[in-house]
Amino acid sequence: MVEAPATEEGWFALHEFRSIDWDAWRNAPRHERDRAIEEGRSFLAHREALATAETGDSAVFSVIGHKADLLTIHFRPTLDALSTIERSFENTALAEFTTTESSYVSVTEVSGYVSDAYFEDDEAEIDDGLRRYIEGKLKPEMPDDEYVSFYPMSKRRGEEYNWYDLSFEDRADLMAGHGEVGKQYAGRIKQVIASSVGFDDHEWGVTLFGADPTDIKDIVYEMRFDEASSRYGEFGQFYVGRRFPPSDLGAYLAGESVPTGESADGDAHATGTHPDGSHDAHGDGSHGDGRGHDHADASGGSAHGDHPHGEEETGGEGDHPHGDDSQAGDGDGTSDEEIRGELADLDIYAGKPHGEDVFATVLYSEADVDELFDEVEGLRGNFDHYGTHVKTAVYEGHTTDRTAVVSIWETGSAAETAAGFLSELPGIVARAGEESGFGTMGMFYETIPEYTEEFVDTFDDVGEALAEMDGHFETDLMTNVEDENDMFIASQWRSKEDAMTFFRSDDFRETVQWGREVLADRPRHVFLA
């Protein structure tokens, strides 16, 4: 008999698919429709805000196609909590205009493929990155990405190909190859996979989230050619939808395009998506629970074990990378591109750090620097599994008590995803771009070792001059705790014009010219607002 891999279960998941009785809706009196909208909006908003639960997550999506109109997804610690959600909705006026087309019940899990040490309770062998990964898998938060695809699947048990007749080693090899396909979509696709063995008609429920729906199509398509799917995968119905905030329920029922971008709840809207199509880094909060780490074992096997996909996301959420060419600006419509162009006219390099094809995210912490470095080192080990990861380092402040954590990636979405994990580091107090005013102009310098002390002294002189300038909030020289010659200067200003006045000054030009003689490479000035 083939031995079953060990599993550990976490939160339970409910996917509910409902259709609207459009004839009944159109024929209903206005006051009945108003009541249905208000009660439906209140129900959904309370679920998303966890007003009736301490932990979990919920979201609502408009379903495209004939299979349903609305999809609600709920993650909760117990089955009883999901049962209560189902029954509570039936008590709303909106429920009278809907019918349930389908539903799916499952529970998150990690399996023995993740780590022998974890299931053998060998605490000494479990690093912090693995703990974060497992915690994120067992207690998922809803990614902020706009589009969703859900489908159930099972592993084949036919006469010729039977997944459950394979040895543990053979299954691990197949899942490792499956995971390699998924890694190509790191930062573009996030997934929540939950087991439904004994709960529903298939063995897993797969929920894919992405900012671009074609990425969802592409990853499923490519994985069909992988042996783990081509020989052993069996799939149920697929559903695709677009997330919208509960406050847009009335607009949805009126046939308007949602999300409208005019949330009445005070946030950009619940998905973290702005009206112009860009995305917040965290939507309604940082998702830094470890969700999305692809923590492969020593053999490079999939972190999912028997799960239908290898891990394909870096974790976290959002498509609004700091330091890229997006329309970040200072609130007056000024874009990163325009600012970089003005700096280039001044012979100041203002691209992305360490080259034009990489992106940075910067967070600040007030935690003990040694404690912070230990945590970052654990995360960095997981980041290194991805080919898009360039560098993650800790920079200690020179004149402030803050420490900067800088993570550099080849893609903006990967940098954003990493920010979700980094936001859970101890003592995090801010992120570059979240400060008041114009934000941060980040400057990366690598000095020739014999000039490092002189460079620091010169910065002190510049810092004194900056302190007297109008519109200057704070500038600090921060040093890489692993390399004293690698420095990051974070400079915060009230407005773009205040910052540009400094960069146009003779004092700054002279400093840059002097720097070319003492730096190991050209300085990198990066707009991070």
- Which residues are the active-site residues? 151
Cα 392 to Cα 373: distance, rounded to the nearest angstrom: 10
The answer to whether 494 and 506 have CB atoms below 8 angstroms apart is: no
Cα 86 to Cα 99: distance, rounded to the nearest angstrom: 12
511: nearest Cα among 464, 450, 449: 464
Any idea which residue has 């394909």 for tokens? 312
Q: Find how far residue 328's CA is from the centre of its chain.
A: 18
426: nearest Cα among 384, 380, 374: 374
Cα 32 to Cα 207: distance, rounded to the nearest angstrom: 34
Cα 528 to Cα 407: distance, rounded to the nearest angstrom: 13
Edge-first strand listing for the sheet containing 403-409 = 428-431, 359-365, 403-409, 389-397, 472-480, 483-493, 439-446, 524-527
Cα separation values, 83 from 12, 87, 152, 172, 449, Å: 11, 6, 20, 35, 64
DSSP state of 259: -
* Exposure string for 158-190, b = 16+ CB within 10 A, e = fewer: eeeeebeebeeeebbbbbbebbebbbebbbbbb
